[in-house]
Amino acid sequence: MAGSWWRWRRIAFRDPLDTRVFADFASSEGWWYAGHENHEWRGSTLVWHSLDGAIIGFSPGDTVSVSFAEVSADEPEVRQRAMAEAEAMVLREFRCFTVSEALGLLRATKGEARALVLTAAAASAPDRYCPEVADAVTSALFAPEPPVRAAALRAVMLTEWPQLARPLAAHALTEADDGLASFARALAEQVYHENAYAHLVQPPAPTPQDLDGPAVNEVCRGGPGTTAVHQETALGPTAGRCRRTH
C-alpha cells in the first residue's frame, strides 16, 4: 500500500548539537562516513551510511537555526527496518522533539520567539502532509514579525508539501520585506516549479453586479485570528490577502 512505508524521517534536536558530537555518536554505532552534501538553503549536511542500508544525514543548524538529523535510504520501500533502527538509535542518544511537543510549545510561545519553535516543528514533521504543521506554517507566513515569516519560509523549504505552494505564492506577492519576498519567489519556482507572478491574472471586464457586490470574507486555513479577504480585483476573483484580526 502506497502509504504503508515512509521515505524519510527528520529528527529535530532540542539542544544545539555540535557536528563532532554527532560524528562520534555515528562512529560508535558503526556507521561509515560518506561525505557531505551542500544544499542551497539548508547548508551543509554530513552523511553516514549504516551497514544495513540506512542513510543518516546531520544538519548542524547553521542555516535553519535548528540542528536535525534525517534518516532515509536509496530504496526506502525495502529499507524500512534499517531506517527505523537508525531513527531509534538517534532518539535514544539525544533529546529530541516530537511533532506534538513542538506544536504544543508553538501554541504557548508568543512574538519572535515562535520562529525557532516553528522551525523545530517543521524539522520534526513527517514526510507526508501533516495538516496541523501546515496550518501553523501558513499562519506564520503572514505573521507581523519578520523573523517568524522567515522561519515559515524555512518550514516550507523543509517540508516541501505541495499543499503549501499556494500559501507560499500568496506570501511572495504580499511580502513587504524585499529579501523575504525574493526568497519566497525562489522557493515557489525551484521547489514547487510555480511562478508566483502567474497568479497575477487579468480577469474579464467587471460587470455592474461585480462592481456592486460585497467582498466575501473567509477564515484562512492559517488558523484562528487570520482572515482572508477575497475580492474581485485586478488580481482576479480568487486573489486575497491575509491579515491578523486580533
- The pTM for the full model equals 0.75
pLDDT of residue 42: 76
pLDDT of residue 62: 82
pLDDT of residue 243: 40
Q: Which three cell numbers stand for residue 73?
A: 535510504
Residues 110 and 87 occupy one common structural domain: no
What are φ and ψ of residue 30, in 5° steps? 85, 15
Chain centroid, CA 218 distance in Å: 24
Domain that holds residue 153: 99-199
In 3D, which of 18, 17, 49, 44 has the Cα closest to residue 33? 49
Give residue 184's pLDDT band: very low, low, confident or very high (50, 70, 90).
very high
Residues 42 and 81 occupy one common structural domain: yes
Domain boundary among 42, 71, 93: 93
- 19 domain-assigned: yes
pLDDT of residue 212: 52
Q: What is the mean pLDDT of residues 174-185?
A: 95
- 2 domain-assigned: no
- 163 domain-assigned: yes
Residues 85 and 147 occupy one common structural domain: no
Domain boundary among 93, 117, 133: 93
pLDDT of residue 222: 39
Residues 89 and 111 occupy one common structural domain: no
What percentage of residues in the chain have a pLDDT greater than 90? 66
Q: Specify the number of domains making up the chain.
A: 3
HSE of 77 in the Cβ direction (CA atoms, 13 Å)?
Answer: 4
- 1 domain-assigned: no
